[in-house]
Structure 1
Amino acid sequence: MTTAPTITSIKDAIEFAREQGAIMADLKFMDFLGTWQHLTIPTHRLDEELFEDGLGFDGSSLRAWQPIHASDMQLRPDPTSARMDPFCREPTVSFICNVFDPITGQPYSRDPRYIAQKAENYLKTTGIADTAYFGPEAEFFIFDDIRYSTATQHSFYKVDSVEGAWNTGRDEGPNLGYKPALKGGYFPVAPNDSLHDLRTEMSLVLEQCGVEVDVHHHEVATGGQSEIGIRFNSLVRMADDLQWFKYVIKNVARRHNKTVTFMPKPLHGDNGSGMHTHMSLWKGNQPLFAGEGYAGMSELGLQFIAGILHHARALTALTNPTTNSFKRLVPGYEAPIRLAYSSRNRSAAVRIPTYASSPKARRMEFRTPDASANGYLAFAAMLMAGLDGIEKQMDPGAPLDKDIYNLPPEELARVPSAPANLEEAMVALAEDHEFLLRGDVFTEDAVEAWISYKMEKEIQPSHLHPTPLEFAMYFDV
């Protein structure tokens, strides 16, 4: 049972903190690249002035934000986001904040939550729909040990899991077996699934935080790959929920001396972790994607799909924003790299789920994203791409109801593909982002800052560092 309070005002938020006995207030906010940041104050500082005028912080110390000569920024808590933090030793109420410029008093153009809020507002101005619902399926690995280091003269990583297929021969005093093989984790019962109780605890804590859980299970890969499905929500609220999701999953794991990663491809030779994202548009109480077309979709729903596919290469710069993301997007691992759509084909980038026949369940699923994405930016960009498809009445073409990986080469060549690496994705975004600028949802400044940071701080260093694999292949040349 979820325990999310119903809070509509500053007064409600302050009263909630008092009723819960909170003595501290944690102010959380999303940085540009997708990491939750926070600072904490005593609850005696919670008053209307704090919510309306905010609290200052140094914006130059955060990646891709302010220069040092213009570093002052301001946090303003959203009173409706109040939750009790389940991990603090002392009773602590938590608020999600928006970021403002203290000089102009205006929202900050690179605040991801503000961008997501603008996307929701833009949707309403189009008259197409009132609400966009999102349901991400963020997969993750639960490991028992992780070590890595990169220096001038060395580079290595090593992960370990008691479930790892590589540990069948390890002396564990005793080794009891029950280790899922490569691609063998979907989804046998215990004792092969040794993480059931841990995922249940994660699910219960999520519900305590107001995030409704649909299902949890082991995923395909060995080494502790898991999934906890959470109920869909509107765009901004879903991005908020996704941050609570990651926070809860990681901290519950830490309680048990385990660690969680949402890194898309931490294991070579096995499935990576995606974030298949379900989307639908509603107007009032009417689902707009249900109709008489292919797979029960409406013409508007198919146009939305067309927009996603048309802009998919640019979208990957935001939905798959790491160099590691493109080690998942390769053939052979259910990786949705071909930019096509289908009703049941999991190798296509867009799938139309057919589990239920109810019009309310009609939706599309974009399978390319992964959970390294900043949810606020990724969901906003996906909505803008789909709306562009509707506004321009795009045609998605014929569905591809075939095994894409077994298509003849000449037929496969006609199916567009996702970028092969992060650099290609950034080039695609640089060439195709006008659709993001509609309604000032994304600004040119925000897009340029994203591309610049990724190129300079992530892509270029990845080109310069030797890797252990290169030593294995080339040391004895």
Structure 2
Amino acid sequence: MSAQQVLELIKEKNIEFVDFRFIDLSGRAHHITVPASEVEAETFENGVAFDGSSISGFRGIEESDMVMMPDTESVYVDPFTAHSTLIVVCNIHTPDGQRYDRDPRSIAHKAEEYLQKSGVGSAAFFAPESEFFIFDDVRYESSMNASSYFVDSEEAAWNTNRKEEGGNSGFKVGVKGGYVPVSPIDAQQDIRSEMVRQLQESGLRVERHHHEVATAGQAEINFRFDTLTKTADNLMKYKYIVHNVARQFGKTATFMPKPLFGDNGSGMHVHQSIFNEGEPLFYEKGGYANLSQMALHYIGGILHHAPALIAITNPSTNSFKRLVPGYEAPVNLVYSKGNRSAAVRIPVAAVTPKGCRIEFRTPDSTANPYLAFSAMLMAGLDGIKRKIDPSALGFGPFDTNIYELSEDQKKEIRSVPGSLDEALDALEADHDFLTEGGVFSKDFIENYVSFKRAEAKAVAIRVHPHEFSLYYDC
């Protein structure tokens, strides 16, 4: 879509405001809204100015002037505003017109350009399965003398004896008992269907939705794959619509990986493949799980660089509350066909040559999608470039339930880092694959590590409520 076509769309839809958005380091969207009457062709040529020093992890106050450059291919009508508003996602430039090397969306573009220049293929396709919880109530506090959180859901297992409902209706979702039940156990069919309707109206192709494994309203909506940057745009749209539809229903949605203790967390399993001019490159009939040698090398790159990757794909302290043994979250750095206990799974059910793909199951939705998808692609391309054989490095294939292996057998399997700090250590030690072709800059890596270290420290130095249970009587 050209700038002129966007201007015509504004007239056709009687748009009153245009919302220009950009994405920060953490993957959160920010916006500046301009009356549609003030949006002209020059707006798309010159961009919209903003203060970069007010965005964490961006610029110092002495170099704060930055510019949002609108991407006319990203537009959609906001379904939630009272006044008709068109959303336009932007790239970030410096005042001299250069792409800003800390802009996540620009990094995604550079990753796609690097793929094309590498000669490996013309496009990488991504499809994230981003899980979330829908709660009725959330409260939390972290202060000098108090620290607490509380979440609640009408369908939660802990509410079988709750009286506040005016007569408990029963049909609660048991712990780990929430995978695809029908109503009345699944009490959120209509909420998810409304989310799907809004997603479809905003341009996404939604494939299905369902209740997920955990109690208390865990859900998943799957939308169709697309190229790297477009999929990251779609995931931002997905989260925006999920959050706001939940609010319309008087509820709250969270993509936090582990909001509940003792039940499954929310992951973001990422399906990915490479094509060249419409031809799939990951398929080879008769290979392991019908994978080509290129696909196996891509897996080798993902698993070899996984400790560093996880600093970007699982970038929160809460991520490592999910990445523990005993749940479906994969902590073991192996690959397998159809096996959900492996970090990399190759789907084999009803898969066509064009649908042949690998699934990296470790990530979660605290990740910035532009950075996470770019990092995964760069790791996979490094595996292809260096012909990294995952089997030769001891990464499998593993076609048994890893959680049922003996302790001695498990010792032979490498695991993901145990904390955000460990993952950041790995990223500091192993990031040359990210800087190939200038996709990620050294400055970006150093700034990102510093930014995330501050988050880890903020959690580490605070008193935890469970410490009172353990130590108060010492």
* Cα offset, 1:412, TM superposition: 1.3
Which residue is equivalent to 1:162?
154
Deviation string, structure 1 residues 120-150 (Cα, Å, up to 9, x no partner): 0000001110010000000000000000011
Equivalent position amino acid for 1:92 in 2: T
- For the pair 1:144 / 2:142, whether they are aligned, the reply is no
Structure 1 CA distance, aligned partners of 2:407 and 2:465? 33
**TM-score, with length taken from structure 2:** 0.98
Which residue is equivalent to 1:407?
405
What is the correspondence of 1:14-413 to structure 2 with a 5 Å cutoff?
A: 14-102=7-95, 104-171=96-163, 172-291=165-284, 292-397=286-391, 398-413=396-411
* Cα offset, 1:173, TM superposition: 1.2
Structure 2 CA distance, aligned partners of 1:446 and 1:393? 27
Equivalent position amino acid for 1:385 in 2: A
* Cα offset, 1:431, TM superposition: 0.4
Structure 2 CA distance, aligned partners of 1:449 and 1:50? 31
Query: How many residues were matched structurally?
Result: 468
* Cα offset, 1:472, TM superposition: 1.3
Which residue is equivalent to 1:447?
445
* Cα offset, 1:410, TM superposition: 2.2
Deviation string, structure 1 residues 338-384 (Cα, Å, up to 9, x no partner): 00000011111000001124101100000000011000000000000
**Which portions of structure 1, spanning 4 or more consecutive aligned residues, are displaced by more than 3 angstroms?**
none
Equivalent position amino acid for 1:50 in 2: T
Deviation string, structure 1 residues 290-321 (Cα, Å, up to 9, x no partner): 00310000000111011000001100000000
Structure 1 CA distance, aligned partners of 2:374 and 2:75? 23
What is the correspondence of 1:416-427 to structure 2 with a 5 Å cutoff?
A: 416-427=414-425
Equivalent position amino acid for 2:360 in 1: F
Using the aligned pairs only, state the percent identity. Answer: 51
Equivalent position amino acid for 2:410 in 1: L
Structure 1 CA distance, aligned partners of 2:108 and 2:266? 24
Which residue is equivalent to 2:463?
466
Three-state SS of the structure 2 residue aligned to 1:142 is strand
Q: Indicate if the aligned counterparts of 1:13 and 1:80 stay in contact, CA closer than 8 A.
A: no
Q: Indicate if the aligned counterparts of 1:28 and 1:94 stay in contact, CA closer than 8 A.
A: yes
Deviation string, structure 1 residues 40-95 (Cα, Å, up to 9, x no partner): 00112222211111111110111111011111111111111111111111111110
Q: Indicate if the aligned counterparts of 1:156 and 1:468 stay in contact, CA closer than 8 A.
A: yes
Deviation string, structure 1 residues 13-47 (Cα, Å, up to 9, x no partner): 11111111101000111011110111100112222
Q: Indicate if the aligned counterparts of 1:54 and 1:76 stay in contact, CA closer than 8 A.
A: yes
Which residue is equivalent to 2:473?
476
Structure 2 CA distance, aligned partners of 1:365 and 1:45? 45
Structure 2 CA distance, aligned partners of 1:449 and 1:210? 35
Three-state SS of the structure 2 residue aligned to 1:369 is coil
Structure 1 CA distance, aligned partners of 2:17 and 2:109? 27
Which residue is equivalent to 1:4?
none
Equivalent position amino acid for 1:27 in 2: F
Q: Indicate if the aligned counterparts of 1:343 and 1:353 stay in contact, CA closer than 8 A.
A: yes
Structure 1 CA distance, aligned partners of 2:227 and 2:145? 48
Structure 2 CA distance, aligned partners of 1:45 and 1:82? 17
Three-state SS of the structure 2 residue aligned to 1:95 is strand
Equivalent position amino acid for 1:266 in 2: P
Point out where structure 1 has 5 or more consecutive residues left out of the alignment. Answer: 1-6
Point out where structure 2 has 5 or more consecutive residues left out of the alignment. Answer: none
Q: Indicate if the aligned counterparts of 1:58 and 1:71 stay in contact, CA closer than 8 A.
A: yes
Equivalent position amino acid for 1:447 in 2: I
Three-state SS of the structure 1 residue aligned to 2:107 is helix
Deviation string, structure 1 residues 172-210 (Cα, Å, up to 9, x no partner): 211011110100000210000000011000001000011
Three-state SS of the structure 2 residue aligned to 1:338 is coil
* Cα offset, 1:232, TM superposition: 0.5
